[in-house]
Amino acid sequence: MISPGQPQRGGISSETGARLRFSPEDIEDLKENVAGIEYASGNISGRVQIVAHGKNYNTRLEGVSPDYEKMRNIVPIFGRFFTKEEDSERKRVALLGLTVVEKIFGSKDYNPVGEFIRVGWVDFQVIGVLPQKGYSGWRDEDDKVTTPLQTTLGRLVGEPYFNTIEAQVRADASMERVSELIVRRLLFTHRFLPTQTDAVSVRNMAEIQETMQEMSKAFSMLLGSIAFISLLVGGIGIMNIMFVSVSERTKEIGLRKAIGANNSDILFQFVIESVFICCAGGIIGILFGLLACVVVAKFTGWATSISYFSIALAFCFSVLIGLIFGVWPARKASLLNPIEALRRD
Amino acid sequence: MRENIIELKNVKKTYYLGEVNVSVLHGIDLEIAQGEFVMIMGNSGSGKSTLLNILGLLDKATSGYFKLAGIDVSTFKDDELSALRNHYLGFVFQQFHLLPKLSSLENVALPTIYSDIKNLHSNSLAKTLLDKVGLSDRANHKPNQMSGGQQQRVAIARALINNPIVVFADEPTGNLDTKSSQEIMQILKQLNDSGITIIMVTHEPELKKYASRIITLRDGLIVNDEKNTQKVIENSDLKYKKFKKHAFSLLRFKDYCLEAGRSLIANKMRSALSILGVMIGVASLIAM
Ligand SMILES: Nc1ncnc2c1ncn2[C@@H]1O[C@H](COP(=O)(O)OP(=O)(O)OP(=O)(O)O)[C@@H](O)[C@H]1O
Ligand SMILES: [Mg+2]
């Protein structure tokens, strides 16, 4: 469970083993009896088929408690979040993600508030549109429908149990202490022995987040160093080919000088040649690089992103290297006197 | 009295090879008049090529006074020497030194790129010159499609394109058989008859008959200077061409582009490989 948008470290997610299942009463009970919990929300999710507007679309449905709005700082684009009453009265209201709005109503800009959608065999009224979240990894976070937890349990799932509670701890409370209290309370209310602590598991989101951040940092460092190595290898390749192709022409340079070329004549010719080679190679290289990205994206399904900065960097770097190693040997040769240059093989 | 086209006084040449100094020319005094056909002879290692290269401004003397066409060149910088070579001199080498990827016509026209006076007819002029050396049917042949004698004739045509007053030839027949040598010598003879001064290095005594003057070198000194008076051509109405110090200008930019483009096209494989090298470099950068 990843929650990159979480404003505050301190979200807790608890999950039960097979023998302990949460019911909506647990949420209120925890908020009342465990000091230090600021918000708590149940969470249940699954795939559903929704029908509306003549369209049929498969998406993810998420049932949450009213506290979820504050925990995730949700500000709907259109409409509003559902209220505590709507949850406890199992009102058939729903908020749609942007992708769902687009798939059903044709455009992301459409305001669907007030429309009816059918989820399974139940009609829901749309009361809001969830704010855009984009992709997390390769999962489209906007491809979902959010409904009140109790409505979901009562009308779609058919039994009042679910497996996850997310809680947010007060800023001044100790995370370890609160998770201990949560486990103790849950074991107590569900009539478990205080020693059966493995019936409930508490995961600290802040810790997970930290590990994720460290991992992604290490990953981007790895990518960065690979990019640097290929920059180096590419640069050395360009160096080689330009150096060799100019060095082998020492004789030509000698002859051109003998028949009257001066040093700047020679230099200009080679600068232009190098610029041409580097630009042609650079442009074809950019096209090939982009193609490679697209192909990789196609085959692996990764969302590859190409930054203009890296294109500009690659291009400028290779043109610079090409220029230096196209012109430097030419300059060296043009400084020889023509006879010496002609004698070279 | 004809004007001297070349005046040397006490010209010395020493090669500095690290610790060892090799003194090759020990003080050469020489005057060459316009219209002469000079042959420089001597043993191997006597300094003939060294002298010829200094006379042709391809190399610089270590010390001494040198006047070419009335211009004191001892103070000239490299670029000015290039311009002088282009303007006044033509060269024929033993190894021909044609650019292998260019056709004979392009090879002949090559010096016009670097000349100040824009010759809009350089191509037709090159054709005329190829005709003159008897190669009008080989205009589009590459050097490797021609015999040594034919290549040398292309090289002579190239030496003539800027209308030089002196042509230098270092063993021009050294790589050729007798028949081709005769052809080359005939052409040089005709040039000399038209008023161009020829200075040539050779090992072959049987070519002496073409020369109007034979200079013999031994160990960096002139030991014999023999004038064959009957051969002196009194035709010297060839006027000195005016020489302006050449200044570098971007007006040549178009020429540079053309030259670069031609060289890229002429060497397709090399260009393609270079482009491929750059391409792989850039592509690998972007794909990361
Ligand atoms: N670049 C150089 N560095 C050092 N010594 C040189 C150089 N060029 C020529 N020499 C020396 O100068 C001397 C004269 O050389 P040069 O090439 O002028 O002889 P040459 O008369 O042309 O001989 P050949 O008939 O064999 O061509 C030789 O002893 C040679 O070793
Ligand atoms: Mg020699």
In this prediction, residue A95 carries a pLDDT of: 93
Q: Angle formed by the axes of helices B268-287 and A205-247, to 10°? A: 170
A chain contacts of residue B264, beta-carbon cutoff 8 Å: 273, 276-277
| β-pair type (B20-33, A78-79) | unpaired
Of A293-302, B104-113, B263-272, the least confident = A293-302
If one compares A163 and B117, the residue with the highest pLDDT of the two is A163
Q: Which of A12-16, A222-226, A305-309, B97-101 has the lowest mean pLDDT?
A: A12-16
From the CA of B48, the nearest ligand is 1
Cβ–Cβ below 8 Å for B277 and A238? yes
A258·B261 Cβ contact <8 A = no
Task: Report the percentage of chain B scoring pLDDT > 70.
Answer: 89
Q: How big is the CA angle at A64 (ends A61 and A70), to the nearest 5 degrees?
A: 125
Highest mean pLDDT among A25-34, A193-202, A299-308, A329-338 belongs to A25-34
| Residue with CA at minimum distance from ligand 1 atom 3 | B15
Mapped onto helix, strand or coil, the DSSP state of residue A86 is helix
Confidence check: pLDDT of B2 > 70: no
CA distances for B224 relative to A327, B7, B41, B219, angstroms:
47, 17, 10, 12
Structure tokens at A343: 């004698």
- Residue whose CA lies nearest to ligand 1 atom number 6: B15
The beta-carbon neighbor of B277 closest among A241, A292, A293 is A241
Q: Does residue A94 register a pLDDT over 90? A: yes
Beta bridge partners of B55: none
In 3-state terms, chain A is what percent helix, strand and coil (to 5)? 50, 20, 30
Whether B285 lines ligand 1, by a CB cut-off of 6 Å, is no
Average pLDDT along chain A: 81
- pLDDT of amino acid A138: 65
Are A65 and A27 in contact by the 8 Å Cβ rule? The answer is yes
Candidates A234, A251, A260; nearest CB to B281: A234
Q: Which residues contact A9 (CB under 8 A, 6 or more apart)?
A: A205, A206, A209
Select the highest-mean-pLDDT range: A30-39, A57-66, A155-164, A259-268.
A57-66
Q: Is B28 helix (H, G, I), strand (E, B) or coil?
A: strand
Nearest to B49 by CA among B81, B95, B18: B95
* Crossing angle of helices B178-193 and B148-160, rounded to 10°: 10
- Mean pLDDT, residues A230-254: 78
The ligand minimizing its distance to the Cα of B41 is 1
A198-207, B80-89, B267-276: lowest mean pLDDT where?
A: A198-207
Please, is A307 exposed, middle or buried when counting C-beta atoms within 10 Å of its C-beta (0-12, 13-18, 19+)? exposed
Using the predicted structure, report yes or no on whether residue B155 has a pLDDT greater than 90: yes
Give the separation between CA B30 and CA B4, rounded to whole angstroms: 10
- What does the DSSP 8-state code read for residue A56? E
Query: Six-digit token pair at A215?
Result: 């991992």
Contact B99/A at CB under 8 A? yes
- The whole-number pLDDT of residue A73 equals 84
**CA distance to A177, A187, A190, A322, B227, per residue, from A193 (Å):** 19, 7, 9, 74, 129
Please tell me which residue of chain A has the smallest CA distance to B108. Answer: A259
**CB burial string B173-204: b at 16+ within 10 A, e below:** bbbbeeebbbbbbebbbebbeeebbbbbbbee
* pLDDT at residue A127 greater than cutoff 50: yes
Q: Whose CA is nearest to atom 30 of ligand 1?
A: B45
Choice between A165 and B251, residue whose per-residue pLDDT is larger: A165
Weakest-pLDDT range from A33-42, A191-200, B140-149, B279-288? B279-288
| Burial group, residue A135, by CB count within 10 angstroms (0-12, 13-18, 19+) | exposed
ipTM of the complex: 0.89
* Mean pLDDT, rounded, for B260-277: 81
Distance B30 CA to ligand 2 centre (A): 19
* Pair A129, A113: CB distance under 8 Å: yes
Average pLDDT value for residue range A44-50: 89
How far apart CA B150 and CA B184 sit, in angstroms, is 9
- Nearest by CB to residue B91, choosing from A252, A258, A314, is A258
Taking the mean position of all CA atoms in its chain, how far away is CA A79? 27
Number of H helices, E strands in chain B: 8, 10
Kindly give the number of the ligand 1 atom that is closest to the alpha carbon of B171: 27
pLDDT bracket for residue A34 (50, 70, 90) = confident
pLDDT in tens, B19-36: 888 899 999 999 999 889
Task: Note whether B48 contacts A: Cβ–Cβ < 8 A.
Answer: no
Average pLDDT over residues A160-182: 83
Whether B53 contacts chain A with CB within 8 A: yes
pLDDT on residue A3: 27
pLDDT at residue B120, rounded to an integer: 66
How many Å apart are CA B20 and CA A184, to the nearest integer?
A: 96
**A272 contacts B256? CB cut-off 8 A:** yes
Burial class for A255, CB neighbours closer than 10 Å (0-12, 13-18, 19+):
buried
Residues of B in contact with A263 (CB under 8 A): 78-79, 82
Residue B233 sits at the chain A interface (C-beta within 8 Å): no
Contact B108, B157 (CB under 8 A): yes
Dihedral sign from CA coordinates of A51, A55, A61, A66: negative
- pLDDT tier at B244, thresholds 50, 70, 90: low
Does residue B214 surpass a pLDDT of 90?
yes
Order of strands across the sheet with B4-17?
Answer: B20-33, B4-17, B63-68, B71-72
Taking CA atoms, what residue in A is nearest to B54? A339
Q: How many CB atoms lie within 10 A of CB B22?
A: 9
pTM of full prediction above 0.80: no
Tell me the residue ranges of DSSP E strands in chain A. Answer: 11-16, 37-52, 55-64, 78-79, 93-96, 116-119, 122-129, 135-136, 139-140, 144-148, 164-169, 200-204
Taking 80 as the threshold, does the pLDDT of residue B135 lie above it? yes
Contacts of B118 in chain A (CB under 8 A): none
Decide which of A195 and B161 is more confident.
Answer: B161
Q: State the nearest Cα–Cα gap between B130 and chain A, in angstroms.
A: 18
Residue identified by tokens 């800023």 is A171
Contacts B162 to A, Cβ<8 Å: 260
CA distance A328 to chain B (A): 16
Alpha carbon of B90: minimum distance to chain A alpha carbons (Å): 7
Residue B32, pLDDT score: 92
Picking from A222, A277, A321 by the largest number of B CB atoms within 10 A of its own CB, the best residue to mutate is A277
| Average pLDDT of the segment spanning A227-238 | 74
Q: What is the DSSP string of A109-139?
A: T---TT-EEEETTEEEEEEEEPPP--EETTE
Report which protein residue has its CA nearest ligand 1's atom 17.
B49
Q: Higher-confidence residue: A185 or B288?
A: A185
Which residues, including other chains, have CB under 8 Å from residue A211's CB and lie 6 or more apart? none
Give the pLDDT score at A137. Answer: 62
Give the whole-angstrom CA distance, residue A252 versus residue A72: 72
Q: Could B279 and A284 be called an inter-chain contact, meaning their C-beta atoms sit closer than 8 Å?
A: yes
Residue B202, pLDDT score: 92
- β-pairing, B37-42 vs B197-201, is parallel
pLDDT (mean) for B59-70: 89
Do the beta carbons of residue B115 and residue B149 sit within 8 Å?
Answer: no
pLDDT band at B130 (very low <50, low <70, confident <90, very high): very high
Q: Which ligand is nearest to the CA of B47?
A: 1
Element (H or E) spanning A226, and its range?
helix A205-247
Q: How big is the A-B interface in CB pairs under 8 Å?
A: 175
pLDDT value at position A278?
83
The amino acid at residue A310 is: S
**Residues near A10 by beta carbon (within 8 Å), at least 6 away in sequence:** A168, A169, A170, A171, A175, A205, A206
